[in-house]
Structure 1
Amino acid sequence: MEKNIPEAIRPDPVSKFMRIFSVICLLSLGIPNAFADPAAELASFSVFDKVDLAALANSPSVAHGVPMSGSYISAQSCFVVAAPAARVAEALRQWNPARHSDLKVLLHSDLPSSPGPANFSRLSSAPNNGAVQSLVSATLKGSTDLQISNEEAKKLPTSGGSMAGPVANFWAGVLSGRARAFSSGGTRSQPPYDHTGKAVRPAEEFSGLMQQQDKIRKQFSGLIDGSGNGRGGGEPFWELLTADEQGVLTLGASYRRSGPNGGSQAADVLYYASGGYYVGLTLYQMWPVDIGGKPSTLVWRGDFISAAAIVGLHGIERVASESSMMRDISKAVSAFRRDIGGGR
């Protein structure tokens, strides 16, 4: 879906591998999930203690996530789609938020595993609106708000008045270089955002997303462990979007994992952003359910972001920031349900 984070003692890697391998073997043998009831499993790791499937089929529920500190905030949502789980999972994989103008995703495109600048040629035809012009202006001025490395900053253009030409060429180089680095080494291979004056490292921000989410980290351990934190893979993509009226370029990768009883999990890892936020993670779990005799799908979604603007927020200000995030999520969920024909 929409593409609009004190470390504990590390477990022994061999033992960790054997535990994950054992779980995968059990799933492949069709061992039933410990929770036969999807609603009970949902309640075991989310903020939704009780859910009414019939009510969720009519109206999704969006809520504040578990409170987080530092640069992190989160939100959770759950909803029902009137379609079989396999169809919903595939629709989620192929969904393009850029088809909906209210989601503020201007461009969305899939990438090969090792892209070059040519894979970002659509930058030259980006909309000439205020958000894009703000990114162009920041690029030409070499603004320290740009989340790039000092090495990348050495190639900043000094001429051009639109996204096309030198500005597009610069960003195509940055994005393709970072995408190739991610493909070979995951988030740990990403250069720091030290042009900002702070040595912010995407890998550290990504690791931090789940450190305050014990139940969710446990529920999605098999997926999270293989979703970019240390290696790349997945299905890569890039986007040009609007965040706080500013144009933002972002890189991400999508992952999915089949589960027992026809269910599945998915993740969208946003490992690079030119501004607006450091990194983001969206997790999904899907269960097949029956609503009024029709095969349907219960979906849980969790959104987690790390952003510089969050660090100094406390109390009502932090809640307000989460509320804004929740409104965007609600729009995305509604658009997805409409696209698949599973909601209004």
Structure 2
Amino acid sequence: MKRLQNIDINPRTGELNIGIMDKNSSFAIVVCNGRARLTELPDHGETKIVTHQGKVKRIKYDEGGGILVSMESVLTPRHVINNKQLVSIFKCSPQGGMRRSKDTNTLVIVSNNVESLYENKWLGGTLHYTGMGRVGDQSLEFMQNKTLNQSRVNGVEVHLFEVFKEQEYTYRGVVELAGDPYQERQLDEEGYLRLVWIFPLSLINESTQRINKETVKNAEGNRRHKARRMSDDELSKRAHSSTGQAGIRNTNTVYYQRDPYVAEYAKRWAKGICQLCENSAPFVNKKGEPFLHTHHIQWLSRGGEDTVENTIALCPNCHERMHVLNGKGDVEKLKTKVQQHFTSCN
């Protein structure tokens, strides 16, 4: 990583003077907030520079082909833009979750936390991102799946945006593959289970990983609303197709992102009855729905899975009881309740 050398700017004229005859190698000049600095460049490839503000900029250089400054220089992490601005900056398609631009040699990845067919999930500092293809099994050779899979060697810079609110794209930064793509089963657009490709992605700049907890929770509220609108059949398919692993976000605290379809399914089969004390929910909310919490019988923090077999509906009082006491007899009763439910369904 190159540290920039200071260059004096004439305060009266705003001009900078530099003798280039003694420069035998390639170099770049960065001007920011009225200050200029110079860095030597390699003959080809990529280098990183640190500005006087401490920000890291990535510069790609091909001899004879000029300099391409990374889009990280245009956007800063957590910067929120709209779709029109995104298209203008990256010269990419206005739609889709994977948007390739040959003009800027970039691939824009959009992870939509509000409304999306795909089940993307953060596990610590790694985003497990579902590939391209809405119907049937996905292929690694298909369009931008291939681009992303080959991003270690094809020179395409991959940029991540997340949607936490409709029409707002939060820039997270440049990402890279954190491991080899793998397959898992998810529902497709027509409601059939299929094989999808999951790409583990990590942010190059680790300091940009943390996101505001309330931002994440608000987006989850939209997904819970979507789950409540589903028919029983559609909800059951969604809930039973859960991978069982709750997302783990790097916020100001460790935050587990639960599957909203699993939670809604547990509430729906409870039919307004707490599954521990067996009393009716203490009240109904403004939408006329029984007010119950969902509880993981084996806690997520202790390795429990976010599945329909491990999730049950409780009244607020019993939910608090389980988190304070977690009595063995109560745990066994809840396990039996779940088993009885699935036995009656079969």
TM-score, structure 1 normalization: 0.21
Which is strand-richer, 1 or 2?
A: 2
1 or 2, which has the higher helix percentage?
Answer: 1
TM-score (norm 2): 0.21
Using CA pairs under 8 Å that are at least 6 residues apart, name the structure with larger relative contact order, 1 or 2: 1
Structure of larger gyration radius: 2
